[in-house]
Amino acid sequence: MINIEQARREYTLAKNALNAIAHSDDATAAQRDDARAARDELTLDYINTMALEGDALTQQYQDFITKMTAVVDQLSSGNTVASGLLAVQGVVDRANKLLG
Amino acid sequence: MMKPNEGGISHGGTAVRVRWQRVCVLMWSALLMACTSVPVKEFASYREAVDKARAAAEVVLTDYSAALAEQRVLMAARKPEQPKRPGAFDPMTAGGDGANLDYVAVRYQAWAIIGKYNDALASLAEGRSAADVGGAVDGLVNSLSQSPLAEAKEFATALAPFLGPLKVLLAEADKEASRQRFLAGLKTGLPLIKDDLIALLRKDSQLMAEVRFGLNDLQYERSLDRVNDAKRRFDVLSSNYASTEEVRQMQAEIAAALAKLPRDSTGKAAPVRSPAKSGNQEAVTAAVLAELESQRTQTLNEIAGAMRINDTLVAYYGVLGAYVKLLNKMAGSTGQLLQAAETGQKFVLPSDELLKAVIALRQSYMTYADKK
């Protein structure tokens, strides 16, 4: 995973540099517009990068689900005394049919 | 001395009865020695924390799915990117199925599987009812008594006087087996929740914050552009005329409002152009004053708009902060339950802390919903 604090710092520094032009009286209107557009693109890149990092975590969630499903299956399928008695009864009933 | 055919049982049946008496005594002694204690309070506390955290997660996920929808619209509107040469090959990313998995759906599934896990544990903690076990014993004895084999029938008959205590013993043995499986289930599943899931949920909250920040920053910076444009119009107009008390008053109002704009995360003040200097001596007319007042109002409105956008982000961070506090409560009670399962240690569990965390989340979400 990327270092979010560092990514944020780099984004802020780059944005501030563009804003220095975007709000400068020394820049022409066209230069200010170009700087604003570049700043918006920078922000969209930042959003996209963070959203993709979230997507990468989705596979890890899936791995967790797979492991937990195995645990739940194990919990649900174990033998109990009652299920053991029922199993023996089943054997006796089948034997009774064969012998009767 | 026993009389022959007492109760219809043969002399061999007496030996069977004595053997069963010994078996019952042995089983009862073994059960008493092996009786496992289930951490009931810790389990209840853990379940409550998980349920509350899950409800909070669903609220946060619903809001974030709206953020992702907003992000997709923005990305779709972008100019097509210049094609790039591929970067470093990552086999983990290339081999995984991450890109095809639905972000929100998978996270809901993760919470759902914990719900199933907790339900399975609760069922084991409770164990089978005595009636269920008794019914199984009756069923087996009934089948044995209907067997064509004489030995089977005799066995069923010999068991008859001991059915009552035998059912009690077997019901207790069944509960003990369930308790053992419950504890084993805790030791297998809880580390996955504590170490894997909660870590993922915390990372998620950090990334959600950054995506929401980015979307908010896009609006915020554009609103600062409007602030600057409105202020430029005011400055250009006011610089054409001599400075009067009314104009200076308007400039002071704008400066005071600008001073309230938040600094960025590095501490830098909001990027706003410096006030214009008036070099002209031309007198301000009523019409010019009216126009300056209009420009001042527009500037102040744009500043208020920028502040509202910032307030929305601050409120969202409040929601995430309250959500992470709930995750911490869940982590704490998961750890306590695991420790109780492993060491038998008992915990004093403060009942109102979870409630406070839930209330804090609701309040912060109401604030956020009000502002967005």
Q: How far apart are CA A14 and CA B339, in angstroms?
A: 48
The CA–CA distances, whole Å, from B193 to B97, B186, B338, B353 equal: 22, 10, 11, 21
Q: How far apart are CA A47 and CA B74, in angstroms?
A: 10
Smallest CA-to-CA distance from B331 within B207, B208, B202 is with B202
The CA–CA distances, whole Å, from B132 to A98, B129, B170 equal: 28, 5, 11
What is the average pLDDT value for chain B, to the nearest integer?
85
pLDDT tens digits, one per residue of B254-294: 999 999 999 876 677 776 666 556 566 788 889 999 999 99
Residue B160 DSSP one-character state: G
What the block records as the tokens of B230 is 């409105």
Q: Is B265 helix (H, G, I), strand (E, B) or coil?
A: coil
**How big is the CA angle at B227 (ends B224 and B228), to the nearest 5 degrees?**
90
Q: Which residues of A fall within a CB distance of 8 Å from B140?
A: 85-86, 88-89, 92
Q: B228 with B273: CB under 8 angstroms? A: yes
Predicted pLDDT at B5:
44
What is the average pLDDT value for chain A, to the nearest integer?
91
Write the residue in B143, B177, B273 that is nearest to A23 by C-beta: B273
Averaged pLDDT, B80-84? 72
Residue B38 DSSP one-character state: P
Write the residue in B78, B121, B148 that is nearest to A100 by C-beta: B148
Residue of B nearest to A13 (CA): B266
Q: Which residues of B fall within a CB distance of 8 Å from A58?
A: 98, 101-103, 106-107
Q: How far apart are CA A88 and CA B146, in angstroms?
A: 14
Q: Smallest CA–CA separation between B243 and chain A, in Å?
A: 21
Smallest CA-to-CA distance from B64 within B213, B180, B178, B244 is with B213
Which helix or strand (DSSP H or E) is residue B29 part of? Answer: helix B11-34
Q: Is B346 left (phi over 0), alpha (psi -120 to 50) or beta?
A: beta
Contact A81 B152 (CB under 8 A): no
Contact A71 B197 (CB under 8 A): no
Q: Is the pLDDT assigned to residue B75 strictly greater than 80?
A: yes
What the block records as the tokens of B53 is 């955290």
Q: Smallest CA–CA separation between A6 and chain B, in Å?
A: 12
Write the residue in A1, A39, A55 that is nearest to B98 by C-beta: A55
Alpha-carbon torsion (B258, B263, B269, B270), positive or negative: negative
Q: Is the pLDDT assigned to residue B2 strictly greater than 50?
A: no
Predicted pLDDT at B4:
44
Q: Which residues of A fall within a CB distance of 8 Å from B63?
A: none
Smallest CA-to-CA distance from B255 within B241, B235, B283 is with B235
More confident residue, A35 or B32: A35
The CA–CA distances, whole Å, from B242 to B125, B234, B253 equal: 85, 14, 18
ipTM: 0.88
- Give the best-scoring range by mean pLDDT among A52-61, B84-93, B209-218, B251-260: B209-218
